[in-house]
Chains A and B, each alone.
Chain A
Amino acid sequence: MSTVPRYDHGSRVPGWDRPADLDKDPAGIPDPATTEVPDSLRQEIEAHMANYPESRSATLPALAAAQRVHGWCSPEALEQVACVMGVTPAYLESVASFYDMLETTPVARHSVYVCTNISCSLRGADALYEAIRQAAEDGAGGGSDINVRSFECLGACDIAPMASVDGVYVGPLTESDVPRLLEDVRAGRPVLAEKQLARRRVADPRANTREFPPHPIEREREGD
């Protein structure tokens, strides 16, 4: 083996060592005649395209839609979006790989983004992240049904340390919350209902001049 230190790939760098496959054809705009796109996906993308002065603006919503259908921005998903939008799949891969929420490698359906940026980490986020990651792995018996990843500041440092669980913000979390958090995810229940950001009042004590009941928790989203 080589003694030269090799690049530690990490999840964000899948392709540095990848040559082109010379047996493949060049990837132009996919041919509508040979690219099958699920009807509902096509309609959703077309609706997004119609929303903007320039249809190219629909790229992010279209990719998000395809990711919901395919689980990640797989080559197949990108080809389908490319076909509907009339762009090359390379263009879409370039865009998708720029953004943290668009996955260009396969991931589990459920996601737990644990904020490990400064404010959360000052309040113990790094250990929390480790705990959730470990617990998720153990719970899945080595496989992974939950995509646990550390994330940059999610904009909820007031509930630090926190996580976004399938898009729902919860916090402040302690390690003792972890088992229930994962249970709730797996059972499809609202996650840690009492710790959801949605219920939280503003911190400023002068803001509310009266007593108000707590906010209801977030309903399940019906899609964009």
Chain B
Amino acid sequence: MPRPQPRTITFTIDGRDVSAPENTMLIDAARQGDVEIPAFCYEPKLGQPVGACRMCLVEVEGIPKLQTGCSTPVKDGMVVYTQGERVKSAQQAVVEFLLLNHPLDCPVCDKGGECPLQDITFGWGGGISRFIEPKRHFVKPLELSPLIAIDRERCILCYRCVRFSQEISEDYQLVLLERGAHSYVATFDGHPYVAPFSGNIVELCPVGALTSRPYRFRARPWDIEGAGSVCTLCPAQCNVTVTVRDERALRVLARENGEVDDGWLCDKGRFAYQSFHVDERITEPLLRDGGRLRPVSWERALQQAAAGLARAGASTGAIAGDHSTNEEGLILARLMREALGSPHIDSRRASSLPLELHRALGAPGLQAKVSDLEFAHAVLILAADPVNDAPILDLRLRKGVRRHGLTLAVASPAPSSLDENAATTVRHAPGAGAIFAAALSAALTDDEDAARLARDAGAEPEAVRELAALLRGPVDDVPDTGETPPREVVILWGERLAAGPNGEAGIRALLKIAEALGMGGVEGAGLLEVPATSNGRGLREAGALPNAGPGLSEPASAGRDTRAIAEGLLDGELAALYLLHCDPLRDLPDSELWGRALASAGTVVAHAAFLTEGIREHATVVFPAEVYAEKEGTIVHPDGRIQRLRPAIAHPGSVRSEWQVLAELAGRVGFDLDLLSGAMASRQLFESVPFYAGLTLEEIGGRGVRWQEREAAASFPTPAGVTSAAGKLEITDTPADALELAGFRSVWDAPEVEFSPALGFLFPHRELA
């Protein structure tokens, strides 16, 4: 859908002329003139205003009744008063009404000091209450879920939380019961409110009625600091503010960035910070000694690791995983290629793709942004399950369907949380995503193989045909009136499309689909990948690939991909393994193969924050790894937005930065990486990747920049004619990729979830061991 292009108008507020985009609500427009209109129920993130709290009443010339600023669109020439007697008295009255039954227990309230009700009472209230009846009292606080407590005395019935449940996460679990003054927020028959995004209601609540149980009574606003960073717990990379007290993370809040997260967080992002401070966290180097890992000094650990790597030299393999920054990817690649002379580095879980395909997939003209998911005409989800792969995108797609008439299509092997919102859902056999893509591409190009491929993929040929028609959109019901704007279609696809024997064919099919739908160069259309790791895109662009150097350049020599590294360890071709934030047993496909590979590796050096199975059983040296809140560096959002991590809390124990350890090791094997600070690492990155050229940390700032939107994007090695890369599709006949997929885990299946005390209940019980 085309995005609205608002016109700027001028209106008068409290005697001053102010310009604002036409039809923005008065409350927002007033801010342009530095006038604050108080509000409780208004929250544009929640959709249309509801006008319930009546706090925002203002006087508009020509209208007899006071109007709600939250729902009155501003028009040219409008004359508004917010300071007159009538407005003041109405505002004081609403504050008085809201406080009638409010317990005023601010001294023991978590919200105290950062409470809109306090602020508005202070700023707009009358200062006295004439209410002398006894207030209502209830047992409090009560559990609403393992994560959230509810204090119904404090609730001012602004409806934000129930609107969130109904209109944003659409889980319809949190509702109002009864009516009038008896209304209260509750769930059905005492069931807990458990949903992937439930924690947002804590942040939405303008009073202390909904509080985070892990945060309750941990701090007061004046002894905490907020530190902005980016969550790396999944590829969605939501922007966050970490609440810090005494160098500990006490809370994570959303830091709204419309181009990334829309101001929401999933419960993992919001509550997994607890895992940063648990006893299970590794905080000092460990060395395997007599079959067991024991704490040792850094010196000892570094020396042992360096010795092992030096011994293995070119027969070292390296894998970078979740939470690795671009800089770490770059330095790891340099350690491997330049210091050890080994080309065997990878950061992907799926089997290797030819470099030209990486380039074709990354071509700037073919990239969709997150906000395109909302405004596109149609979105197809292919080999991805947003709520389990990059949760926040699930909310964005719901918003697109609900508010902007987005047509959503889901192709998946199993029911997904978005099926209800989809205009069409097509099922295919597990692991047959690539063949399905081939079938769809055939259907779009009227290839006679379409039906056969659909059947091979375990899908209904008719359904695939219909999907193709839906993506193409209505062709001739709109008469051609010259300039018809191009149709914007986005394909949200998961890295697992490229897994298994047909992976490459799947990617070629994807590129053909993109071509058939004319996505190239169309603003608002394109591909959006959900990588299997949180910084998958950045690591590839930094050169952590077996067949690409920084900036997807041709490397001096090609190395082994992830799977081939395992095979190399097994057959003795490789002697050492370097694991950066990766436990092959839980993170990579085919854990059986990896179990044997790790057992036969000579040296396994790992950076890890938790002793997960593979590390515990097989690592020779373990360096205590940073969590994202401790890291500095950059990561790349799946849509190309380079974002900056800033350390919010101090390293616990003797944890050191990964870049530092990598540089130290390179030094010890005789190669100087010339790195003295994290900023120098970033500079090296920007210099090594041609399409990042000229970037600075300042330019990235708090909101990030999409490199595709910078001039240097021109130096991206776009293959001549993106689709020339998409030759004949070669499909092997059996969809035997199911096992390969086992390594693609839900983001909820992570140590950060497992080890966070309050969040642990969401940790899925694994069926495939």
Contact = CB atoms under 8 A, between A and B. Distances in A.
A and B touch in the complex (CB under 8 A): yes
Interface of A: 4-7, 12-13, 15-22, 24-28, 75, 78, 87-91, 93-94, 97-98, 104
A17 B187 CA distance: 13
Contact of B189 (A5, A13, A22, A89): A89
Nearest to A78: B188
A42 to B, nearest CB: 20
A26 B189 contact: no
B177 A25 contact: no
Contact of A97 (B134, B174, B177): B177
A94 B179 CA distance: 9
B100 interface: no
Interface stretch (B136-144, B468-476, B696-704, B742-750): B136-144
Contact of A88 (B152, B172, B192, B194): B172
A186 B139 CA distance: 41
Contacts of B190: 18-21, 24
Contacts of A89: 188-189
A88 B137 CA distance: 30
B182 interface: yes
B145 A20 contact: yes
Interface residues of B, number: 32
B177 A20 contact: no
B137 to A, nearest CB: 6
Given A7-B138, A18-B142, A20-B144, A93 B182 contact: no
16 contacts: A4-B137, A5-B137, A16-B138, A18-B142, A19-B190, A20-B144, A20-B190, A21-B190, A21-B191, A24-B192, A26-B191, A26-B192, A26-B193, A91-B172, A93-B177, A97-B179
A4 B134 CA distance: 9
A12 B178 contact: yes
A6 B137 contact: yes
Given A27-B191, A90-B188, A93-B189, A20 B182 contact: no
B137 A20 contact: no
Contact of A17 (B139, B172, B175, B189): B139
Contacts of A20: 142-145, 187, 190-193
Nearest to B173: A90
> Chain A binding site: helix, strand, loop or mixed by DSSP?
loop
B14 to A, nearest CB: 40
B184 interface: yes
Contacts of A87: 172
Contacts of B195: 26
B6 to A, nearest CB: 31
A5 to B, nearest CB: 5
Contacts of A4: 137
Contacts of A16: 138, 152, 184
A25 B191 CA distance: 6
A27 B192 CA distance: 8
Contacts of B179: 97-98
A198 to B, nearest CB: 31
B210 to A, nearest CB: 12
Q: B187, B194, B195: which has the most chain A beta carbons within 10 Å?
A: B187
Contacts of A88: 171-173, 188
Contacts of A27: 173, 187-189, 191
Contacts of B136: 7
B178 A90 contact: no
A22 B146 contact: yes
Nearest to A74: B189
